Structure 1
């Protein structure tokens, strides 16, 4: 009675809220295990067998109405619980059959009596055959097929996991989905793999259940004969009839729910994921074509006319198929007519007022491609450019110090098929052409022979290049060309443009995210600066000044330390930028000249240096003639540096650095202008070219 009392209290525990829900699983396990040990009265056996049948029907119906396998992700656990429940009932009923079977066919309850007597007509031979057939159907057909499908599904799901993860990352990188959606889709991919892996193992439960049911039947029959004849004095015929019918009833009442559960497992693993349940798929695909129904009706009708055949049954089925086919045709005709009578949606759209939903916001960073380049950005075609863009953003964040906005990719039929356009806040900042399937051979300046192909220029750096076939790739490398594929061409150009416009990509939101990041580690540093001393706009302007001069902002702690130190006395963003450059001098020099090598730079002639200082102090600016001469000689000095294979770096006195950097940046963006004060004392400087005098 302990198990009965616990069972009667189970609904109250389940209604106790969230804490009660957490107790349902352990309580069910305890009940199932207790049924193997504690004796159960016949009435409680009737209730539990009825509950087992109802539970199996519920599981089958839930599996029929699921849209995809993950909608019933608890099925492997349900399969385990139902299998344990059936085996526990078998053990409990076996105990009652062997102990009380001599009293009559209702010794183990009315349910077992009904299955053993009424369903098989009281004939134990028929009952044994029916039971064996059910076991064979369950074990050899349904369970074996479902287990094989689950095994193959688990293997294919695990093999497809990397591709699905890459597709999610590509959609996230392309801006098609957000971080929350990507996280949810990754969780679904992992759950799908776990589900099919669990189903592969859970199918063994049903197979073992079928074997156990067959063994329990044999044990009940043999044990019943021994107990009935030896202990209760029954004759062999009476004992065989009584205990065999009880064993058959016990076996059938367990095997029928097992067959239903196995069918549910087959439905779950064999269905193809669509927006319809299994019933909708069957009716929508099996009976959707009236021609199939009419042809089937014709074949069945012809068979029904053969003498000796059950004519009435065949003709009734043929007539039903013809009637159903006509209904399908009428329904299709009415649907087509309703669609034709439906007014054009454009008319209704024209009558609607404009709303804020019609306002299209400009993407911070966009890439538009011609239709021949769609394969480079299409995840279904394994477009390599999506992964490269993701790597570009990650590398930029690591090198420069902030994360650029997501690159939104769209196709544009108005541009050339092989062209692409890079836009910043809706404005074009770069364009180029790429040839998928071909390779760009870039001439770095020292090649041994020309190559056949389409002449072009590298869109990122303007170097002469040629598009060649893949068969000439190795030959081009031997000649000294730098050979890259189409996706690398686009990615390199995009990366170059992102670095060139880094200052414009650093918005207030990115600055705030940087401050929040630093605030987690050094909260007082951020609190003392923004907004107490400087506004967020001023900090943004200083950071943009650094990015304009190709100075990374990774060392935000040093940048904020300088701002906190000088913000109370210096308000000009240009002066604050210069002070920060002094603090970052070692990193700036290391960026241009790695290691401890000598700094071979361009210098100013002493007379030119004095003239520029005088122009700076007089605030009159550079005279046109002086400006032209300075620009011309700087270009000559840069050419000499290039011939020597040296970086174009101009080193001047600190007061002149800002003036010359602003003046030369427009015409010579690749020139770096440093001040003597920014170079650490431990580094050696060698002037290899001089502006305003001879080298």
Structure 2
């Protein structure tokens, strides 16, 4: 057991024991002194902490000190009523602090109770309640701000995680403080009740049990009771003050003393006005001339000193700024920062800025965050941070999507307009500005806000500008995700899997495959739109087959076959009969005969005329599927699939090639044609 655990356990155990077992007056003196010391430690820690979370354990400390103080109050009450000797500390507080006078002691005690109960406790309770409510209400907005900063690159993933943890800690702390202030309020109420009970009990004990005259009993027990109340309430007031300091603490940049001095004594004209007013009061009224004039002169002198310091600081700032500008001019250009290339960039003209500006109601940043989440769920890959920046060289309504600094796609929108697309069954057309949808290059028209409802009622698909940009960006990212997957990303994925599958990862990496080889397999899967979210199955398949071959293309085929349930669910959902195109066995034999194996991998040596004939047949058969409204899917044998995909990739970008081994047994297929030469 650690020493801190032992001390804390003894502290709580002592409080429980003192509620039951009587303690001698000497031990009570020691414990009361300890109670006062702990209260002072808490107060000054709260005073000099930079922010409230520096004392995140305060609600628990408040509970512990309250129960300890109540147990001491009960112990002192036992001694007062049983022996009339509660010890030196209680007696001293009653006689010295109260002036040895019953009336003075009672008044001082009542004033302390009123100050604590009506001023400090009431204010702290209200501030804690409001702070807790506003902290909880502000959490969604703060979380969105963190996501926006992360998305724009203003902060790193580590900083974002730290901010989220701090945000959760703040909400938990202020929520706990809202309830903890009730301890302070209840403690003050209990102290007042205990004092009244002690006075009545002391009178009864002194008169009936000890035969004392009423006046003597009242004098003795009332002073002892007031001393007992003072020795309990003074630490209680200190902790109440600490509670108020914590819930009202707003500065996170400097100590409270520095903040107060800088804010109260930083404007010279304020000190001039106050000093002049005090001198006027001293001269023009019967008030003490020496005191008020001395204070007034001191404030005026202080204002003059601060004004001189401000002027000196301004001159130093001007000189420093001039020197910095000169140094910047003389300094050779730092080209290192210019060498960094962002994985994904979205540049837009100044007309699109309102869509990305949160202050103007734009939600493009939130949509970009959702894009990263959507792709992570759909394809199992973490999309790099997407940079958003304006570019005055673009047309006002133009935007450009860049991958690794190179523009790969662009589009143009009309602000305050909507894009309406005809899904194919609209009978009555609507007028608008002709255009093309940027993601899939479908014909569309721009319409105004007034035309939106009518267009939707006619069957048009109506999309707002932020959705157009978000959809376009999503498709571009998906199409280039294999290129964006770096070795470091793969290493991060491996580390995530290793937490729950250490044996699997230890067997695979680096004994059988390196990070680069696993990267190639995952890139092959992403290039054809296959999710890599089930990394455990992928890694197990690689571990089973890496001993046979290290050809990443062949390993990709093994992985695809192990993911056949996911592939079937993607292309053949709901168990419906799906129309596909098959590959002529003769063509498959010719393709396999043209495969040449080298140390760098396999490649095809197919005759160009033969290749062109196959491509023409593929075009004819795929058109049949498109006329039926089906995806262009070609089914091949497992050994031919990857070569046929490579053969057709330059001619048909969206062609889906699947082998028989990648189709689940419950899928029903219907061939509408066969690819021949």
Question: TM-score, structure 2 length as denominator?
Answer: 0.84
Cα separation, partners in 2 of 1:57 and 1:393, compared to 1, 3 Å: same
Matched, 1:51 2:51: no
Aligned equivalent of 2:219, options 241, 245, 266 = 241
What's the CA shift string for 1:434-484, capped at 9, x where partnerless? 566654333434545555666543221122334444454322212322223
**Pairwise CA distance, 1:115:** 3.2
Cα separation, partners in 2 of 1:175 and 1:448, compared to 1, 3 Å: farther
The corresponding residue for 2:249 is 271
Cα separation, partners in 2 of 1:360 and 1:83, compared to 1, 3 Å: farther
- Partners of 1:226 and 1:559 in 2: CA distance: 85
Conservation of the 8 A alpha-carbon contact between 2:490 and 2:519: yes
The corresponding residue for 2:632 is 648
CA RMSD of aligned residues (A): 4.1
Conservation of the 8 A alpha-carbon contact between 2:347 and 2:391: no
Matched, 1:90 2:107: no
Cα separation, partners in 2 of 1:511 and 1:278, compared to 1, 3 Å: closer
The corresponding residue for 2:599 is none
**Pairwise CA distance, 1:322:** 1.9
Cα separation, partners in 2 of 1:607 and 1:80, compared to 1, 3 Å: closer
SS at match of 2:573: coil
The corresponding residue for 1:506 is 485
**Pairwise CA distance, 1:515:** 5.6
The corresponding residue for 2:271 is 293
Conservation of the 8 A alpha-carbon contact between 1:443 and 1:463: no
Conservation of the 8 A alpha-carbon contact between 1:366 and 1:423: yes
**Pairwise CA distance, 1:487:** 3.1
Conservation of the 8 A alpha-carbon contact between 2:376 and 2:383: no
**Pairwise CA distance, 1:652:** 6.4
Matched, 1:117 2:101: no
Conservation of the 8 A alpha-carbon contact between 1:542 and 1:573: yes
The corresponding residue for 1:152 is 130
Which runs of structure 2 are paired with 1:60-459 in the superposition (5 Å)? Answer: 60-101=43-84, 107-172=85-150, 176-342=154-320, 343-348=322-327, 358=337, 360-370=339-349, 373=352, 384-400=363-379, 402-416=380-394, 417-434=396-413, 438-448=417-427, 455-459=434-438
Cα separation, partners in 2 of 1:310 and 1:502, compared to 1, 3 Å: same
Conservation of the 8 A alpha-carbon contact between 2:151 and 2:387: no
SS at match of 1:145: helix
How many aligned residue pairs are there?
669
**Pairwise CA distance, 1:145:** 1.3
What's the CA shift string for 1:547-569, capped at 9, x where partnerless? 43444455667766776676666
- Partners of 1:550 and 1:198 in 2: CA distance: 48
What's the CA shift string for 1:137-196, capped at 9, x where partnerless? 111121111111111222222223333344444545555545544443333223222222
What's the CA shift string for 1:622-663, capped at 9, x where partnerless? 446x76676667556555543432323345677876565435
Structure 1 window deviating more from structure 2 (326-335 vs 73-82): it is 73-82
Cα separation, partners in 2 of 1:248 and 1:461, compared to 1, 3 Å: same
Cα separation, partners in 2 of 1:230 and 1:333, compared to 1, 3 Å: same
Conservation of the 8 A alpha-carbon contact between 2:353 and 2:390: no
The answer for unaligned runs of 5 or more in structure 1 is 1-17, 102-106
- Partners of 1:89 and 1:520 in 2: CA distance: 51
**Pairwise CA distance, 1:415:** 4.7
**Pairwise CA distance, 1:683:** 5.9
The corresponding residue for 2:10 is 27
Question: TM-score, structure 1 length as denominator?
Answer: 0.82
- Partners of 1:680 and 1:194 in 2: CA distance: 49
Conservation of the 8 A alpha-carbon contact between 1:438 and 1:486: yes
Conservation of the 8 A alpha-carbon contact between 2:98 and 2:106: no
What's the CA shift string for 1:30-89, capped at 9, x where partnerless? 223344444445444444433333333332222221222111122222322333333333
**Pairwise CA distance, 1:20:** 0.7
SS at match of 1:288: coil
- Partners of 1:150 and 1:522 in 2: CA distance: 46
Cα separation, partners in 2 of 1:371 and 1:133, compared to 1, 3 Å: farther
Matched, 1:668 2:652: yes
What's the CA shift string for 1:105-153, capped at 9, x where partnerless? xx54444444333444333212222221221111112111111111122
The corresponding residue for 1:13 is none
- Partners of 1:57 and 1:352 in 2: CA distance: 54
SS at match of 1:666: coil
SS at match of 1:421: strand
**Pairwise CA distance, 1:536:** 4.8
SS at match of 2:2: helix
Cα separation, partners in 2 of 1:381 and 1:283, compared to 1, 3 Å: farther
The corresponding residue for 1:9 is none
Conservation of the 8 A alpha-carbon contact between 1:36 and 1:88: yes
What's the CA shift string for 1:398-451, capped at 9, x where partnerless? 443x41332232423345354443332332322334566654333434545555
